[in-house]
Amino acid sequence: MHILVRTCFTFLFALNALAHDHHDELTEEETSAPIDNILWIHILLQSLVWGVIFPIGMVLGLSRSRWHVPLQVTGYALTVGGYILGHSHKGRAFLAGVHGKFANILIVPILGQLAVGIYLKLHINEKSIRPYIVTLHGIIGKAYPIFGWAQILFGFIAFRGYCRGGALGQCLAHYIMGSGFIAYSVMMTIILLVGEQWIRRSGRSPEFFDSVVITLWVRTVSFCIVNTFTEHHGGAWSVKDMQHTIMGVLWWTGGILGIFLSRNNQRNVVPGIIIFLTGWGMSGHAQALMISTQVHAMFGYTLMLAGLTRILEVCFFAPSFAVDAADDDNRSEHTLADGAGARPQAQQSAKAAASRSFRFLPPFLLVAAGLLFMSATDEELRYAHGLELDHVTYILSVFSMAFLLYAFIVSLVSLYSTSGRNAPGAAGGAGAIDERAIELVSPRGAAKWYARVPTQGAGPHAHVLGDDDEEEEEDMMAPHLSIRR
Interval 25-51: pLDDT, tens:
666 555 666 777 888 898 999 999 999
Whole-angstrom distance, CA of residue 24 vs CA of residue 31: 12
CB 282, CB 221: distance < 8 Å: no
Burial of 463 (C-beta count, 10 Å sphere; 0-12/13-18/19+): buried
What is the reported pLDDT for 29? 59
What is the reported pLDDT for 201? 78
| Confidence (pTM) | 0.77
Q: Which of 178-182, 328-332, 423-427 has the least mean pLDDT? A: 328-332
Name beta bridge partners: 95.
23
What is the reported pLDDT for 38? 87
- With bands split at pLDDT 50, 70 and 90, how would you rate the model's confidence at 333? very low
Phi, psi of 160 (to 5 degrees): -90, -10
Phi, psi of 91 (to 5 degrees): 75, -130
- With bands split at pLDDT 50, 70 and 90, how would you rate the model's confidence at 323? very low
What confidence tens digit (pLDDT) does each residue in 357-413 have? 788 999 999 999 999 999 998 899 999 988 988 999 999 999 999 999 999 999 999
**What is the sign of the dihedral through the CA atoms of 115, 116, 120 and 121?**
negative
Burial 423-449 (b: 16+ CB within 10 A, else e): eeebeeeeebbebebbbbbbeeebbbb
CB 303, CB 282: distance < 8 Å: yes
Mean pLDDT, range 182-202, rounded to an integer: 84
The yes-or-no verdict on residue 449 having pLDDT over 70 is no
Show me where the domains of the chain are located. Answer: 1-161, 168-485
Cβ partners under 8 Å of residue 126, min gap 6: none
Residue of 397, 363, 364, 365 whose CA lies nearest to 380 = 397
Comparison of pLDDT for 61 and 458, the residue scoring more = 61
What is the reported pLDDT for 445? 44
Whole-angstrom distance, CA of residue 107 vs CA of residue 75: 14
CB 274, CB 250: distance < 8 Å: yes
What is the reported pLDDT for 443? 42
Whole-angstrom distance, CA of residue 148 vs CA of residue 154: 10
What confidence tens digit (pLDDT) does each residue in 265-306 have? 788 899 999 999 999 988 876 677 888 889 999 999 999 999
* SS3 labels along the chain: CHHHHHHHHHHHHHHHHCCCCCECCCCHHHHCCCECHHHHHHHHHHHHHHHHHHHHHHHHHHCCCCCHHHHHHHHHHHHHHHHHHHCCCCECCCECCHHHHHHHHCHHHHHHHHHHHHHHHHCCCCCCCHHHHHHHHHHHHHHHHHHHHHHHHHHHHHHHCCCCHHHHHHHHHHHHHHHHHHHHHHHHHHHHHCCHHHHHHHCCCHHHHHHHHHHHCCCCCCCCCCCCCCCCCCCCCCHHHHHHHHHHHHHHHHHHHHHHHCHHHCCCCHHHHHHHHHHHHHHCCCCCCHHHHHHHHHHHHHHHHHHHHHHHHHHHHCCCCCCCHHHCCCCCCCCCCECCECCCHHHHHHHHHHHHHHCCHHHHHHHHHHHHHHCCCHHHHHHHHHCCCCHHHHHHHHHHHHHHHHHHHHHHHHHHHHCHHHCCCCCCHHHCCCCHHHHHCCCCCCCCCCCCCCCCCECCCCCCCCCCHHHHHHHHHCCCCCCCC
Burial 193-223 (b: 16+ CB within 10 A, else e): bbbbbebbeeebbbbbbbbbbbbebeebbbb
Comparison of pLDDT for 431 and 111, the residue scoring more = 111
The yes-or-no verdict on residue 233 having pLDDT over 90 is no
Per cent of the chain over pLDDT 90 is 32
- Upper half-sphere CA count for residue 112 (Cβ side, 13 Å): 15
